[in-house]
Chain A
Amino acid sequence: MTAFVVRRLAFACVTLFAVLTLVFVLVRIVPGDPAQLILGDQASREAIESLRHRLGLDLPIGEQYGIFLSGALRGDWGVSMVTGQPVIREVLRVLPWTIELTVVSLMLGIALGVPSGVYAAIHRNRLVDYSVRIASLLGLSFPPFVAAIVLLLAFAIALPWFPVISAQSGSLSAWYRSITLPAVSLGLITAAYITRVTRSAMLEVLSEDYVRTARAKGVPWNAVIWRHALRNALIPIITVVGLYLGILIGNSVLTEIVFSRPGLGKLLIGALNQRDYPMLQGMMVIYTLVVVLVNLLTDLTYGFVDPRVKLK
């Protein structure tokens, strides 16, 4: 087990390094001088030069890369051009909101998706199966902001059950009221993905010999499904959940905008609109960290769920 964990950790470090390099390159291949872009066309030569110096853009490219890498790893991501606050402080301030939304949506997606996928698989080619397949295909066709707007129209405007702006906290009921619509809009799309992968993974497993054997020796059908079959179908499900978390984090940007919810999304869009380069760079680093961490967790879960993985 230790060797397995060490190997996965090493791979995560390589990935992290690669993506950080990608971020560095990305910010620098953009046509035009960032200092010029930030200050506009009317800026004086001196002002541009001094900003270039402040951003470290006048240093040799290798040195910039070194400063960027060590800074990224130490949590020193520079200072926001707009607020003057350290980027990391701004990011950490809103990060809990995004994590909360993502986790609740994911839970909702799993709670809805796994049972419906299993149910569709064991009723293969029957009406329920077709309905579940069409419904899940429709679900994953929803752009996240469209789902959010439709829910907002239905349950905050037409039927005023939930607040239009969801950023309350404090009491439990306020929390529930503010998170329900954003989490449902993301959770339903997540559920659609999970339903589909659960269904196809279950179909594959249900045709295996050991399932037939279990049935033949008289194991109750329910136990066959949930203990024998689903356990073996978990690997592809976890793969998709892990991959999907990256998409979910991306989707949450739009959901946060629609529901005026604080979080990385609002911070990102603000930074994009104001061309806050240090902030953008820092946000790419945080997204990278989150994604690498999620991938690492997914890999480790494999080893936990399927002992065979550790041996490879």
Chain B
Amino acid sequence: MSGMSGASARPAAKAQTPLAYFAAQTLKAFNTNKTSWIGLAVFLVIVALAIFAPALAPFDPTDQNILEKLRPPSAEHWLGTDSFGRDTLSRVLYGARISLVIGVVSTLAAMLIGSAIGMLAGWHGGRIDTVTMQTMDVLLAFPSLILGLILVAMLGPSMVNIIIAIALTSIPPFARIARAPTIAIKEREFVLAGRALGFSDARIVAGHILPNIFPEILVMGSLWLANAIRTEASLAFVGLGVKPPTPTWGGMIREGFENILDSYTLALVPSVSILVVIFALNLLGDGLRDAVDPKLKGET
């Protein structure tokens, strides 16, 4: 990531555009650990399944059919039916949408707010830095799942409130990860040069510091997306998810758990789905982290 200044040293004829440079770096990061490719592929397949759920799902996910309730997997219902006779496969496909939307939106919000807080704290230093990061540490110390549970319970379980609660609990790690490199980078020559040219603080931070810490934030993002999906499922599991009959994976596990003695597939199918998504995201983020983490650079 420090190659930004190095790129200009090359012959001018073959100067890389910033975008091409970024693409090349990304490709290199992916190739550091081949498992990142597997993670990305699996995740994209799940995203595609979620997007095309209306076309792929054999049944309406909320269509009840009491005569067909708690059926084991069959040719008609590949993954069986639940206690209302709803098709489990269709519900899992639609449930992916809720998990992904809540996960992605809340993680993006946390990324934006958290990195902004971290960069500002690191950039200003002094008292602002101390107070902000102390606050972040306090938030980080509190069990995020419990904070999320209480926030959603008090705000009421709607999609927007769930997103707010998950985003709030994921802000501190992003603030932390954005702060440290900001402090290191603000002493570098190109920042000094920017200052000498009379650039405003905002321009230096947005134009020259952000691109340098962006890869790390992005990697953290994939790991925290996994965490957000897990938190959403946990909330839904204790009854604080998006209101039924909208299918959510956590809610489906809850229903499956209540009928666990009658049908084991009911709890198992959404459980495995969640596990696959989170595992794929962890593979992706973990593989990329090795490439991005400056401490590990030059290894492997």
Contacts and interface: CB of A to CB of B under 8 A. Distances in A.
B134 A143 contact: no
Interface range on chain B (Cβ under 8 Å from partner): 35 or more
Contact of B279 (A138, A149, A153, A287): A138
A118 B145 CA distance: 30
Which of A31, A146, A153, A272 gathers the greatest number of chain B CB atoms within 10 Å?
A146
A31 B150 contact: no
B26 interface: no
A153 B143 contact: no
Contact of A141 (B141, B154, B275, B295): B275
B142 A272 contact: no
Interface string B165-201: 0000000000000000000000000000000000000
A149 B253 contact: yes
B237 A254 contact: yes
A140 interface: yes
Contacts of A27: 154
Contacts, number: 121
A239 interface: no
Contacts of A134: 35
B148 to A, nearest CB: 9
Contact of B238 (A26, A152, A243, A269): A269
Interface in B98-157: 134-135, 137-146, 149-151, 153-155
A253 B144 CA distance: 12
B239 interface: yes
A30 B295 CA distance: 43
Given A22-B138, A146-B274, A250-B143, A157 B260 contact: yes
A302 B35 CA distance: 35
Interface stretch (B4-12, B81-89, B212-220, B261-269): B261-269
Contact of A280 (B150, B237, B271, B283): B150
A18 interface: yes
B155 A272 contact: no
A309 B300 CA distance: 31
B153 A272 contact: yes
Q: Which of A18, A22, A250, A275 has the most CB of B within 10 A?
A: A250
A142 B275 contact: yes
A124 to B, nearest CB: 10
Interface in A137-179: 137-138, 140-146, 149-150, 152-153, 157-158
Nearest to B240: A272
Contacts of B271: 146, 149-150
A268 interface: yes
Interface string A109-151: 0000000000000000100000000100110111111100110
B264 A157 contact: yes
B59 interface: no
B90 interface: no
A308 B117 CA distance: 32
B278 interface: yes
Nearest to A34: B154
A44 B283 CA distance: 56
B168 to A, nearest CB: 10
Contacts of B279: 137-138, 141
A287 B143 contact: yes
Interface string B258-300: 0011001001100100110011001100100000000100001
Interface string B209-250: 000000000000000001000100110011110000000000
Interface in B40-87: none
Contacts of A243: 140
A291 interface: yes
B145 A250 contact: yes
A269 B150 CA distance: 9
A81 interface: no
A15 B25 CA distance: 41
B257 interface: yes
Nearest to B151: A26
A297 to B, nearest CB: 13
Given A137-B283, A143-B233, A146-B274, A257 B154 contact: no
A148 to B, nearest CB: 9
Interface in A237-267: 243, 246-247, 249-251, 253-254, 257-258
Interface string A275-312: 10000100010011001100100000000000000000
Nearest to A29: B154
Contacts of B256: 149
Contact of A153 (B237, B239, B260): B260
9 contacts: A22-B142, A27-B154, A143-B237, A146-B253, A204-B295, A243-B140, A246-B142, A247-B143, A254-B234
Interface of A: 14-15, 18-19, 22, 26-27, 30-31, 125, 134, 137-138, 140-146, 149-150, 152-153, 157-158, 204, 243, 246-247, 249-251, 253-254, 257-258, 268-269, 272-273, 275, 280, 284, 287-288, 291-292, 295
Given A30-B154, A275-B153, A288-B142, 15 more contacts: A137-B283, A141-B275, A143-B278, A146-B253, A149-B253, A149-B260, A243-B140, A247-B144, A249-B146, A254-B234, A254-B238, A280-B150, A284-B150, A287-B142, A292-B141
